[in-house]
Structure 1
Amino acid sequence: MNRIQKSLVLLLCTMSGLLYKTDVVAQTVVDSLKKVLAQPTLTPEEQVLTRLKLSRALSSTDRKSALTNAQVALSMSRSLKDSKYAAQSHSSLVSVMYGQEDIKGVGLQLDSAFLLAEQSGDPLTLENVWYRKGWMESRVGKPHEAVKSFQQALKYGEKQPPNSFTTSIYYNLSAIYADWDDLENQSRYAFACLAAAKQFPDPDDICNAYQAVATSYEHRFGKDNNARQLLDSSLYYNRLAIQFYQQNKDRISFSSALGVIALNTANLYAEFFPRNFRDSAQHYLRIAQEIGIATHQQEVIASSYGMQSSFELMDGHYDAAAGLLLTGLHILQESPAPDNNLMAHFMSNLSEVAEKKGDLVSALNFEREHSKYFAAAFDAEKMAIAKRLEAQYQTQQREQQVLTLQEKAAFNKKLNIVYIILIIASVLALIFLFRSYHFHLKSTIQQQTLLEKEKQDAVLQMRLKEEEAKTLELERQEAALQAQLQTEAAARLLAEQQLIQAQKEQLQKDLLAGTLQVEQKNELLQTLQAKLQEKSGDRNLIGQINRMIDQDRRMDEDFENAKTELENIHPEFFSRLQLKANNGLTRLDLKHCSYISMGLSTKEISSRLGVAPKSILMSRYRIKQKLGLGKEEGLDAYLMKEAGH
């Protein structure tokens, strides 16, 4: 590899640092965000988030507008209830102000972002702020602190939906481990970046993830040039990044990185492949030029011309090589702020070409220009180092202030504890004095109360004795009353028994009279039957009279049979029935009730009484009405119940 090509490789390594910074924005994305802001239905929260996206998109091309949009978003977020929007606004201002080299302002914005994020408690906002802290630390030369901040950010993002912060964290971690030459962790975080980017398919994140994986393979190949599969993998992911960019140009905000990727791909073909692969290198150089023109990146365009000049130099075409270098130099000089390092490389390469052509005067002049730009670059590097040191100093000062405040807070806390202890001791002393006085007062009151109680107890004892005497008198009177009541109850029971016995005797007399009457009637009937037989005239008439006499005799026999059963009926049976019926039952009704209480059926009762069953039913209905029984109450059950009482 010749000197020009080596210098361009060095340039590419220097420019690769741009891949970890914000770059030129695609105008289509800015226009799209402006259209969103113009919508009248946009909520205040949506306006804040859209302005923050617009600020990020403008951060490289129009830093003034980027700062304005971030400040407007911050102003709007202060009126919102949720402090997470203000925290995200302060976090966005960190990157914008860092681009403007406002180191002090960056620290203040980061402190405000942390305070508001802690107030909101929103995990995604905390991930954002911790990511921004790591991002800042990695740029001021504190990579170890940056790694800790990025790891803290990942903890907050563990349970959150896929987001761009996670992808950016993995991307930055891969870059830090690449600087530390830790290829294993560089590769691990590069693939983690790609996996996260595919879950949250932001076009810029996907391009960066492809580039991170490609760079990890390239670094591993640099350690082992015999492992050609690593080089092929690096080229594969570079091609994926370029292909994805070409398919999604209008959706990508930071396309400048793709120009560097195309340059790096061309350099890999030029450095590690035979000359017959030069067409592939030229192909990617043309892509780099197209991207550089589209994104107004003079450095990328100039570097493409510089690498093409190296090919002409290798073929011995010195004039063509010098022409390409001068074209690239002219493009760099048209840049508002040309990179002194790149200018120095071009002057050095032009000096080499002039020397090969034999033009020593031009070679000397170009070498002088190289020295001038190299010194300017060196001064700029010293200035950058000074700014980084200043940023570190500001950070340390701020950390020292925080430490001082923490120590002061700790001292105040201890002092407050002492004050609290003194207050507690004073309160306890007052409580002790109060309790002592209260105890003494209580003791005096208790003595007085005790004396008063003794007096009251004596009075109560007297009253109790009086009450006991009255109670004994009442008990004596109650006992006499109970004895009188028992005597009256015994007398009433005896009277009831006598009444029952009288009723029973009366019933027996009635039965005896009925029996005598029946006997007399039977004798009369027998006499009448004998007389009829003596004078038998009309046989039919005699037969009918005999049947009537026989039937009457059978009824008398039934009556004789029922007499014993009637005697077993409870003596109070008829009196209770008459009482319930208000003495409305006839002797026939009572006889009917007696048969029912003995369990005789309607047919049996009709046979004994010598009447039709229908008459028995009517009689039953009439008795039920006289007794005042309801529809649901059965006459048979009621009478049996009363007979067995």
Structure 2
Amino acid sequence: MNCIKWKLVFLFCALVNGVFMTGVVAQTVVDSLKQVLRQPSLTPEEQVLTRLKLSRALLSHDHKEALANAQVALAMSRSLKDSKYAAQSHSSLVSLMFGQEDVKIVRLQLDSAFALAEQSGDPLTLENVWYRKGWLENRTGKPHDAVKSFQQALKYGAGHPPNSFETSIYYNLSSIYADWDDLENQSRYAFASLDASRRFPDPDDMCNAYQAIGGSYEHRFAADTSARKLLDSSLYYNRAAIAYYQQNKNRISFPSILGLVALNTANLYAAYFPRSYRDSALHYLDISLEIGIATDQQEIIASSYGMMSSFEIADGHYDRASALLLKGLETLQRSTSPDNNVMAHFMSSLSEVAEKKGDLAAALNYSREYNRYHAAVFDAEKMSIAKRLEAQYQTREREQQLSALQEKAAFNKKLNIVYVILIVACILLLLFLFRAYHFRLKSTMQQQALLEKEKQDAVLHMRLKEEETRTLELQKQEADLQARLKSEEAARLQVEQQLIQAQKEQLQKDLLAGTLQVEQKNELLQTLQEKLAAKSGEGNIVGQITRMIDQHRRMDEDFETAKTVLENVHPEFFSRLQQKAGNTLTRLDLKHCSYISMGLSTKEISSRMGVAPKSILMSRYRIKQKLGLGKEEGLDAYLMSIVQ
């Protein structure tokens, strides 16, 4: 017999019992929860949650009390407004009833949990229920469905505060992938479990996470025994789990898992280290034995004795080995329901030791006991398989019933749609008849209104004709008035043209008079020049007078040119100036404006008018004010615009 066989036996026990619960050590946690329940200020919601925690702590120690607390929590939750508390209570009953009740009853609890969780809509409650569904599927031989349920639970928990369910989900996923030999995912979910437990520091979750990581390194090392670092890592995390347990012993609710870790650590030393490391193996066997005794876990105690006996067998100490095996067997027999598989293994080991000791009769007896327990194991396995098949059959039957109900619901839905269509058709028909009656009534009323309107239209038509006759008379009168206005306007224009012509003729007369005056002046100047020429002795004075006379002649020649321009002056030039100035322009102002319009400079105008240039500038400023021109507007430009 070797050490690995004892490890496999213990792992089988762990798988059968699910999660190891506490006996004596957990009593501290149970007492603390009971003390919380005695607080008078505790709300009903807090009482429900506390009782659920208490039932979890009591699961293995006192299953009956654990179930009673969960049922009390369920009864209290039914009076609460939020259905999430009832959903959590049903979910807790799934784990409490599993193995004790028919799977069908357990599934009914799960269905109730789902219905209430959906009603509440609370994401963390939905995460709880989906986790419990995966947990049940994993224990009823449906690991693939369990993985899907666990993943769905993680989706509901995403983005919410960390909780214990997240750690348990990763722990279970790591275990499933370990069974499938998917070492990569086993390791990934084991580390995810540790990360989640650090964010939600629950002592039990931390121990489970360390154990899961240690197990993942052990599996990887078993696949490649040359990688000793993997073995060291497995031992490191196993030690970390044991050290964490020893530091938080009073806060651990389920210390039995540490018995598995210690037993597994001892097996690693026995299987992969030289005989000189046997003391280390025995050290961890002592720890597993201590935890087994403290928690009253007969499987841990028996497995510890069994592994110790394997060391004695290897050393040839058959009597010591037999004594240790008998101690383990005695421990198992004290259990109310010892595991047949473990009992068969012990009988096989005792038969082997007795045979080596030469006690063939004892070996035969132990061998017979082995066969009996092995047959019981076989029967139990057959029963388990039968139950599993029955559960699968019930599941399929339930799915078929569900499918039939869905088909019936679909048929009823279609039938309801037909009924609705018929009702709608009847309503539409009634509406059509009502509308038809209403339309006929409305048509009759409209015809009466139309006849009345035609009478009113006839009266209005007559009035309209009378108004049109009056309008025609008014238009005729207006046309006569327009004709008169046009004739008066033509007469006014003719008078204005005559006035302009008269002004033009007067201007021509003035020009002619000016011309005659200039001719007379020229003759006078000619006579004066001749007389001055006769007095040539006074050359300087004569020269000045002669130049003056020449200058006046040139100005007269310019005047002859300007006269031709003035003959073509715009007829409305003076009238528009007076209109602009409000008839305030004097005759001298008009003459000044005429010179400016001819393009004469200030000096030329001052010479013609016989005044100083400064007076001309003052006269220009006065004319600009009378015309109302701004500072920016020029007088020359304005007068030129009138001429043009």
TM bin (shorter chain): 0.7 to 0.9
Distance across 1 between alignment mates of 2:110 and 2:349: 44
| 1:434-472 deviations in Å (ceiling 9; x for gaps) | 133234324433443454455455445545544554454
| 1:580-630 deviations in Å (ceiling 9; x for gaps) | 222222333223323433455545555655655544433332222111223
- The runs of 5 or more residues in structure 2 that have no matched partner are 38-42, 199-205
Query: Once the 2 structures are TM-superposed, how far is the Cα of residue 374 of structure 1 from its aligned partner?
Result: 9.3
Contact 2:10 2:300 (8 Å CA) reproduced: no
Distance across 2 between alignment mates of 1:563 and 1:53: 129
Contact 2:59 2:66 (8 Å CA) reproduced: no
| 1:60-89 deviations in Å (ceiling 9; x for gaps) | 577868957994999599667xx7x65873
| 1:272-312 deviations in Å (ceiling 9; x for gaps) | 77766756644653564576578775643442232112211
1:316 corresponds to which residue?
316
2:511 corresponds to which residue?
511
Distance across 2 between alignment mates of 1:519 and 1:70: 146
Distance across 2 between alignment mates of 1:633 and 1:73: 105
AA matched with 1:193: Y
Contact 1:256 1:297 (8 Å CA) reproduced: yes
For residue 151 of structure 2, give the secondary structure of its aligned residue in structure 1. Answer: helix
1:480 corresponds to which residue?
480
Contact 1:97 1:106 (8 Å CA) reproduced: no
Distance across 2 between alignment mates of 1:535 and 1:406: 151
| 1:519-578 deviations in Å (ceiling 9; x for gaps) | 334444555565666679988776666665555555444433322223333121222112
Distance across 2 between alignment mates of 1:384 and 1:419: 51
Distance across 2 between alignment mates of 1:604 and 1:52: 127
Distance across 2 between alignment mates of 1:27 and 1:546: 150
1:307 corresponds to which residue?
307
The counterpart of 2:12, out of the listed 11, 14, 39, is 14
1:150 corresponds to which residue?
147
CA shift in 2, pair 1:543/1:291, >3 Å: farther
The counterpart of 1:207, out of the listed 204, 210, 214, is 210
Distance across 2 between alignment mates of 1:52 and 1:522: 144
2:203 corresponds to which residue?
none
2:445 corresponds to which residue?
445
Query: Once the 2 structures are TM-superposed, how far is the Cα of residue 148 of structure 1 from its aligned partner?
Result: 2.8
Contact 2:183 2:220 (8 Å CA) reproduced: yes
| 1:161-209 deviations in Å (ceiling 9; x for gaps) | 6977677556545655776xxx45x546424524644764644564354
Matched ranges for 1:427-506 at <5 A: 427-452=427-452, 454-456=454-456, 458-459=458-459, 461-463=461-463, 465-506=465-506
Distance across 2 between alignment mates of 1:538 and 1:69: 158
The answer to whether 1:623 aligns with 2:623 is: yes
Matched ranges for 1:258-407 at <5 A: 258-267=258-267, 270=270, 278=278, 281-282=281-282, 284-286=284-286, 288-289=288-289, 299-325=299-325, 328=328, 342=342
Contact 1:29 1:57 (8 Å CA) reproduced: no
Query: Once the 2 structures are TM-superposed, how far is the Cα of residue 260 of structure 1 from its aligned partner?
Result: 1.8
AA matched with 2:640: M
AA matched with 2:11: C
Distance across 2 between alignment mates of 1:47 and 1:539: 144
Distance across 1 between alignment mates of 2:256 and 2:27: 14
AA matched with 1:485: L
| 1:482-538 deviations in Å (ceiling 9; x for gaps) | 433333332232222222212211222222223333333444455556566667998
1:224 corresponds to which residue?
none
Distance across 2 between alignment mates of 1:154 and 1:475: 96
The counterpart of 2:186, out of the listed 178, 187, 190, is 190
Q: How many residues align?
A: 616
Contact 1:321 1:353 (8 Å CA) reproduced: yes
Matched ranges for 1:33-48 at <5 A: none
| 1:206-243 deviations in Å (ceiling 9; x for gaps) | 4354256357558xx6xxxxx76499798466435314
Contact 1:581 1:626 (8 Å CA) reproduced: yes
The answer to whether 1:245 aligns with 2:241 is: yes
Query: Once the 2 structures are TM-superposed, how far is the Cα of residue 480 of structure 1 from its aligned partner?
Result: 3.5
1:579 corresponds to which residue?
579
For residue 630 of structure 1, give the secondary structure of its aligned residue in structure 2. Answer: coil
1:93 corresponds to which residue?
92
Q: Which 10-residue stretch deviates more, 55-64 or 88-97?
A: 55-64
| 1:399-426 deviations in Å (ceiling 9; x for gaps) | 7986787577556545533542342233
AA matched with 1:596: I
Contact 1:348 1:367 (8 Å CA) reproduced: yes
Contact 2:242 2:261 (8 Å CA) reproduced: no
Distance across 1 between alignment mates of 2:212 and 2:604: 116
Q: Which 10-residue stretch deviates more, 236-245 or 533-542?
A: 533-542
AA matched with 2:235: R
CA shift in 2, pair 1:196/1:392, >3 Å: same
CA shift in 2, pair 1:639/1:409, >3 Å: same
CA shift in 2, pair 1:593/1:175, >3 Å: same
CA shift in 2, pair 1:451/1:513, >3 Å: same
Distance across 2 between alignment mates of 1:546 and 1:640: 36
TM-score calculated relative to the size of structure 2: 0.72
Query: Once the 2 structures are TM-superposed, how far is the Cα of residue 579 of structure 1 from its aligned partner?
Result: 1.9
Q: Which 10-residue stretch deviates more, 606-615 or 438-447?
A: 606-615
AA matched with 2:88: S
1:639 corresponds to which residue?
639
Aligned alpha-carbon RMSD (Å): 5.6
| 1:360-419 deviations in Å (ceiling 9; x for gaps) | 999999999999999999999999999989988998998798678757755654553354
Distance across 1 between alignment mates of 2:633 and 2:85: 90
AA matched with 1:21: V
AA matched with 1:264: N
Matched ranges for 1:538-557 at <5 A: 551-557=551-557
Query: Once the 2 structures are TM-superposed, how far is the Cα of residue 354 of structure 1 from its aligned partner?
Result: 6.7
Distance across 1 between alignment mates of 2:555 and 2:51: 124
TM-score calculated relative to the size of structure 1: 0.72
CA shift in 2, pair 1:273/1:391, >3 Å: same
Q: Which 10-residue stretch deviates more, 532-541 or 367-376?
A: 367-376
Q: Which 10-residue stretch deviates more, 167-176 or 299-308?
A: 167-176
AA matched with 2:498: Q
Distance across 1 between alignment mates of 2:531 and 2:75: 145
The percentage of counterpart residues that share the same residue type is 60
For residue 582 of structure 2, give the secondary structure of its aligned residue in structure 1. Answer: coil
Distance across 2 between alignment mates of 1:24 and 1:606: 135
2:594 corresponds to which residue?
594
Contact 1:87 1:114 (8 Å CA) reproduced: no
Distance across 2 between alignment mates of 1:24 and 1:317: 34
| 1:25-61 deviations in Å (ceiling 9; x for gaps) | 9989979x99xx99xxxxx9x9899979966984657
